[in-house]
Amino acid sequence: MTTSPLVNATLTTTPMNPDECRQRLAAQCPDLDADTWWLLGTAGCHLCEVAESLIQRLQMVTPVSYQLLDIVRLTEDDMSAFATEIPVLLTPKARLNYPFSILDLQQLATQS
């Protein structure tokens, strides 16, 4: 059985570089704070709620701040690209796609 080389490829129009991604989103949403973590999601997304609760748990022991960014605020292209990836956490230095754990978030917090 042969498989297409695209079977395991990740097709996305969102930039993978966290700096480039944050710059692109900040241009669309100027109210975003450059020093905070951004949690990309949308209303009614169960996994986004889980991701937010993990961040809130981390805040009990580590001083981090985050902002929610609903992908409906983005351009149609970016919204479509992130629609299959949310929740996505963007820090000033890293991009973390779900699933992630509290340990992953602690590691990110120590890098910030």
The pLDDT of residue 70 is 98
Residue ranges of domains in the chain: 18-111
Closest to 91 measured CA to CA, from 102, 107, 72, 70:
107
The DSSP code for 99 is S
* pLDDT at 4 exceeding the cut of 90: no
- The CATH architecture assigned to 18-111 reads 3-Layer(aba) Sandwich (3.40)
* Mean pLDDT of the region 12-38: 87
Residue pair 40/18 in contact (Cβ under 8 Å)? The answer is no
Taking all residues of the chain, what is their mean pLDDT, rounded to a whole number?
Answer: 88
Q: Which residues 6+ apart lie within 8 Å of 102 measured at CB? A: 54, 57, 58
DSSP 3-state of 19: helix
The pLDDT of residue 111 is 87
Residues 59-83 have pLDDT tens digits of 999 999 999 999 999 999 999 999 9
Closest to 24 measured CA to CA, from 77, 66, 65, 62:
77
In the structure, what pLDDT confidence band is assigned to residue 16 with cuts at 50, 70 and 90? low
* Mean pLDDT of the region 38-42: 98
Residues 95-112 have pLDDT tens digits of 999 999 999 999 999 986
* pLDDT at 19 exceeding the cut of 50: yes
User: Got the DSSP string for 21-55?
Assistant: HHHHHHHH-TTS-TTSEEEEE-TT-HHHHHHHHHH
